[in-house]
Structure formats: C-alpha cells, structure tokens
Amino acid sequence: MVVSIKRTMAAKTERTFIAIKPDGVQRGLMGEILKRFEQKGFRLVALKFLQASEDLLKQHYIDLKDRPFYPGLVKYMSSGPVAAMVWEGLNVVKTGRVMLGETNPADSKPGTIRGDFCIEVGRNIIHGSDSVDSANKEISLWFKPEELVSYKSCAQDWIYE
C-alpha cells in the first residue's frame, strides 16, 4: 500500500532578506534580480527602495564591526539607494544563497547573480541572509511587521506539490 503525503507549504516555508546594493541599483540590475527570484518560484512579501542610514547599516553589519573593511562597507552601502526585499518559499535562505553565488565573484559560477554580473568582492551587488536566524534578524531590522504582506500566489499550486 502506498500512502501519498501532501506536503504543506506553510509548514516548511521560510523567509529571507535580500538587498540589492548601491552598485546593483546604479547598474540597473534590480529588474533582472527580481525576475530571477520570481522565476524560481519564490514569493516577494516586502520591498523597499531607500537610502539606508549609517545607523541602520552599522546594526545590519554589527557582526563585522571588528573587521578592517567594516568602515568602508558601511560608507559604501550608505553611498546610494538599495532595494531591500523579503522573499518567501521552501528553503529560500539556502537556495537564495546559491542563486547569489559566492561572496567573491571570482569564485562564483556562471548562472549565479554574482557570477554573471560581478568582478570584485567590494562591488558584489547583492546581500542575502546566510541562515534562517540571520534572515529573521535582518527582516525585523529593515521592515516593520505590518510591511510584510501575506498572500497565496495563484502559481503556488504549480510550484509546490
């Protein structure tokens, strides 16, 4: 006897924080990046286009504060607008990191965002949460709870079993 168990997407879904950095915005890559996440089947639940303050960025990158590149990173990230997003889906944190490619674009495979569009670490166009815990922390830092939209995509049944 074969028993079919229908997975419930809600039980396995997670959210991740993705930010298109000033170089990605300036190079006109926002649409391409959103397109890749949408085509993969992830659902956009929040989007903000803003000039991030140094205070926000210092909080966001607090775990890097003792690194020599920290001051330059904060200055760079506050130098232009960023697109802050929250994406939702099954294994979105892990899959999102794979889609981004390695932090160093030289180590990124073709087909990844950094592999296709970046050359140097200091201009790697995108940030993605590295764990579910980091994602939750980053989402709460950049978005108020009421800014997160909850909805069922009409494509959901075509993406998930």
The catalytic residue positions are 127
123 DSSP assignment = G
Which are the contacts of 3, defined by CB distance < 8 A and separation ≥ 6?
none
Instruction: Report the distance separating Cα 109 and Cα 156, nearest Å.
Output: 29
Q: Is 97 annotated as a binding residue?
A: yes
Q: Is 95 annotated as a binding residue?
A: no
For residue 120, give both structure tokens: 């140097």
Give the β-pairing of 13-20 and 82-90: antiparallel
Q: Is 114 annotated as a binding residue?
A: yes
Instruction: Report the distance separating Cα 13 and Cα 33, nearest Å.
Output: 21
- End-to-end Cα distance, the chain: 20
Q: Is 69 annotated as a binding residue?
A: yes
Instruction: Report the distance separating Cα 130 and Cα 143, nearest Å.
Output: 18
Known binding-site residue numbers: 21, 69, 97, 103, 114, 124
Instruction: Write out the binding residues for ATP.
Output: 21, 69, 97, 103, 114, 124
